[in-house]
């Protein structure tokens, strides 16, 4: 044993002497990676910023697969227990499913945004600093709204292996401060003359600091509007921030995709095949076919009262005999009753499946399309709405801001302002669908042809839309907002539904605010009848390395995901 130790010591001395000889013999540059021009240790922020824009959709779309089923944008068409789990507002233990926003906050954006912010402040690149801070505020807002308590004050602290979570009220106040700092820097025009401007690397707004300012104000509006159930809620502040935020579809925050390889293709497109078992629900179908908003069965709703947006957002089945053009949906936890049947074109004589099989709910990628037609192929043939390889991913839109302002004004008692914002929100969503050009050559959202002026005017004058401020209700505002956010604004919609505890009644009308929304009938088998209110922190970081902190919060309890968040409590 002693001989072995001596041998190890001798080897170490040889290695040490060899390194010293190398460092003193003209090979210093070989070891000094900080001066390597090919792999710079401190790159210009203009080369880092585009990677963060490109990464923006990751957490939102990855985790959107699950939250979209909590809010009934989608539900599974199958009847397997594993697939129905999310429809039932459940979770998967010991899994990173539902953990990608957490990953995005602390790994994807994490130190990259920190580097952009600190470096651009040092170099007086105020537009980069402001945009980076706005994105940092946004990812913290998503993360806390998703998980409630999160790591905030100790985030990115060095020399720690465990991190303390901060309560949601603390995080909200911190987001407020970050947004105000972002606004300060974006308003500063005294740039360093020797540094890159935001136009180099920004493919959302092409370096337009004014539009980044609007985005920052939109984050503030979200932050202030979350707490509608608290006495401290201030509708005037929300309206003020909305008025300074996105005003039209030209202000919409959209992330484009080139769709030349896997990592720059839309996560919801056919190539990446991540929505293969997702189907539109009956809840969204009834909002668009006129059933919910007019209060009559789809079979007797007149054509003017069927939403012309339906053909762009949803997929029709082969059988169009149901009175609304063949648009059908599934209910959460139930699946599609026709999904196990043969497709209509495989009908054989003597069977009874011919008519029923035609009623299957189509996939997100096209009418009468029941499976992904072009997986692993960069095709633009199959695309419905946002579900295409080159379709842009929205992060914030003017219509969302409109409906936020409408709700705030309604709560304040200013129905005239609320009504004007409500009408503008619907119109802005029509404009959103009809938008013809996108960054980086993205494909339009509308299918074949945009919605005509005549179609829009007929809808706006119909029974789905209130015709005056006096008749406007909270349900009108929130249901139209649900439509405008359908297919992308999963986390904002989940905030809204939780603020109204899914099935709260409007105290003014006595009607459920989200009219027609029902908790899954199978909820009892998953959560003992309790709806979901938060996602568990990411398993492979917190449950593996930060267990004691989770134990303090109750995160080891099987019903932790049903604990109500701070923002929605009185």
* Residues 401, 218 contacting (CB under 8 angstroms): yes
Q: Of 352, 370, 374, whose CA–CA distance to 361 is shortest?
A: 370
CA dist 554 and 105 (Å) reads 22
Share of the chain above pLDDT 90, in %: 78
Share of the chain above pLDDT 70, in %: 89
Q: Of 283, 232, 230, 244, whose CA–CA distance to 87 is shortest?
A: 283
C-alpha to C-alpha distances, 493 to 16, 250, 407, 484, nearest whole angstrom: 61, 22, 14, 10
Give the pLDDT of residue 37.
Answer: 60
Give the pLDDT of residue 36.
Answer: 55
CA dist 275 and 366 (Å) reads 12
Give the pLDDT of residue 416.
Answer: 98
Q: 474-485 and 398-412 are packed helices; what angle lies between their axes, rounded to 10 degrees? A: 170
Q: 126-147 and 45-70 are packed helices; what angle lies between their axes, rounded to 10 degrees? A: 20
Q: Of 127, 118, 275, whose CA–CA distance to 192 is shortest?
A: 127
Give the pLDDT of residue 19.
Answer: 33
In eight-state DSSP terms, residue 125 is: -
* Residues 313, 445 contacting (CB under 8 angstroms): no
In the structure, what pLDDT confidence band is assigned to residue 423 with cuts at 50, 70 and 90? very high
**pLDDT score of 31 more than 80:** no
Give the pLDDT of residue 298.
Answer: 65
Give the model confidence (pLDDT) of 532-558 as tens digits. Answer: 999 999 999 999 999 999 999 999 999
In the structure, what pLDDT confidence band is assigned to residue 452 with cuts at 50, 70 and 90? very high
In this structure, the number of other CB atoms found within 10 A of the CB of residue 87 comes to 24
58 contact partners, CB below 8 Å, separation of at least 6? 100, 104, 108, 267
Give the model confidence (pLDDT) of 79-135 as tens digits. Answer: 777 778 899 999 999 999 999 999 999 999 999 999 999 999 999 999 999 999 999
Give the model confidence (pLDDT) of 435-450 as tens digits. Answer: 999 988 899 999 889 9
**pLDDT score of 1 more than 60:** no
Give the model confidence (pLDDT) of 228-282 as tens digits. Answer: 999 999 999 999 999 999 999 999 999 999 999 999 999 999 999 999 999 999 9
**pLDDT score of 34 more than 90:** no
Give the pLDDT of residue 337.
Answer: 86
Give the pLDDT of residue 6.
Answer: 40
Give the model confidence (pLDDT) of 376-410 as tens digits. Answer: 888 878 899 999 999 999 999 999 999 999 999 99
**pLDDT score of 339 more than 60:** yes
Nearest 5°: the CA angle 149, 87, 561 is: 20
In eight-state DSSP terms, residue 76 is: E
Strand spans (E) along 319-421: 393-396
Give the pLDDT of residue 519.
Answer: 96
Residue 261 corresponds to which tokens in the numbers above?
């390889």
Mean pLDDT of the chain: 90
DSSP string covering 153-170, please? Answer: TTTT-TT-SS-PPBPHHH
Give the pLDDT of residue 42.
Answer: 83
C-alpha to C-alpha distances, 106 to 174, 290, 561, nearest whole angstrom: 16, 43, 21
H or E stretch including 254? Answer: strand 253-255
Nearest 5°: the CA angle 149, 488, 305 is: 125
**pLDDT score of 570 more than 80:** yes
**pLDDT score of 562 more than 60:** yes
DSSP string covering 519-551, please? Answer: --TTHHHHHTTPPP--PPPPIIIIIHH-HHHHH
Q: Of 382, 367, 386, whose CA–CA distance to 319 is shortest?
A: 367
**pLDDT score of 69 more than 50:** yes
Place of tokens 């609007």: 214
Q: Of 195, 346, 287, 224, whose CA–CA distance to 481 is shortest?
A: 287
């Amino acid at each position: 044993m002693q001989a072995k130790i001596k041998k190890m010591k001798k080897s170490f001395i040889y290695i040490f002497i060899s390194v010293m000889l190398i460092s003193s013999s003209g090979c210093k540059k070989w070891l000094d990676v900080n001066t390597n021009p090919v792999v710079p240790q401190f790159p210009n922020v203009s080369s880092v910023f585009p990677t963060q824009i490109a990464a923006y959709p990751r957490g939102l779309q990855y985790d959107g697969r699950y939250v979209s089923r909590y809010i009934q944008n989608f539900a599974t068409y199958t009847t397997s227990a594993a697939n129905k789990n999310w429809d039932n507002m459940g979770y998967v233990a010991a899994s990173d499913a539902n953990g990608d926003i957490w990953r995005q906050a602390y790994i994807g954006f994490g130190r990259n945004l920190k580097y952009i912010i600190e470096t651009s402040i040092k170099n007086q690149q105020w537009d980069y600093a402001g945009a980076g801070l706005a994105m940092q505020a946004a990812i913290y807002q998503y993360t806390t709204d998703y998980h409630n308590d999160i790591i905030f004050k100790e985030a990115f602290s060095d020399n720690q292996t465990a991190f303390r979570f901060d309560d949601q009220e603390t995080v909200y106040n911190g987001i407020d401060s970050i947004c105000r700092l972002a606004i300060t820097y974006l308003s500063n025009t005294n740039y360093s003359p020797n540094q890159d401007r935001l136009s180099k690397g920004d493919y959302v707004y092409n370096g337009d600091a004014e539009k980044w300012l609007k985005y920052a104000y939109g984050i503030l509006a979200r932050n202030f509007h979350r707490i509608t159930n608290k006495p401290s809620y201030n509708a005037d502040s929300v309206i003020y921030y909305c008025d300074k935020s996105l005003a039209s579809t030209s202000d919409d925050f959209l992330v484009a995709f080139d769709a030349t390889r896997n990592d720059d293709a839309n996560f919801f497109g056919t190539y990446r095949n991540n929505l293969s078992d997702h189907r539109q629900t009956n809840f969204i179908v009834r909002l668009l076919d006129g059933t919910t908003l007019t209060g009559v069965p789809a079979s007797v709703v007149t054509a003017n009262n069927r939403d012309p947006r339906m053909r762009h957002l949803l997929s029709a089945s082969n059988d169009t005999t149901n009175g609304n053009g063949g648009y059908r949906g599934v209910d959460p936890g139930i699946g599609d009753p026709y999904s196990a049947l043969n497709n209509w074109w495989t009908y054989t004589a003597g069977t009874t499946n011919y008519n029923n099989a035609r009623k299957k709910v189509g996939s997100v990628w096209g009418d009468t399309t029941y499976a992904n037609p072009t997986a692993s192929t960069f095709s633009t043939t199959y695309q419905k709405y946002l579900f295409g390889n080159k379709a842009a991913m929205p992060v914030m839109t003017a219509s969302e801001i409109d409906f936020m302002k409408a709700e705030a004004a309604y709560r304040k008692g200013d129905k005239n302002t609320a009504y004007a914002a409500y009408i503008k929100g619907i119109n802005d969503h029509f404009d959103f669908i009809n938008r013809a050009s996108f960054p980086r050559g993205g494909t339009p959202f509308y299918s074949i042809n945009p919605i005509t002026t005549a179609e829009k005017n007929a809808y706006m004058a119909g029974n789905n839309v209130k015709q005056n401020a006096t008749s406007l209700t909270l349900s009108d505002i929130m249901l139209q907002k649900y439509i405008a956010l359908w297919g992308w604004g999963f986390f904002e919609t989940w905030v809204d539904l939780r603020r109204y505890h899914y099935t709260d009644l409007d105290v003014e009308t006595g009607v459920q605010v989200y009219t027609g929304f029902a908790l899954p009938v199978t909820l009892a088998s998953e959560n003992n009848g309790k709806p979901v209110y938060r996602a568990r922190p990411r398993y492979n970081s917190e449950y593996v390395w930060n267990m004691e902190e989770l134990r303090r919060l109750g995160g080891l309890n099987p019903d932790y995901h049903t604990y109500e968040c701070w923002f929605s409590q009185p």
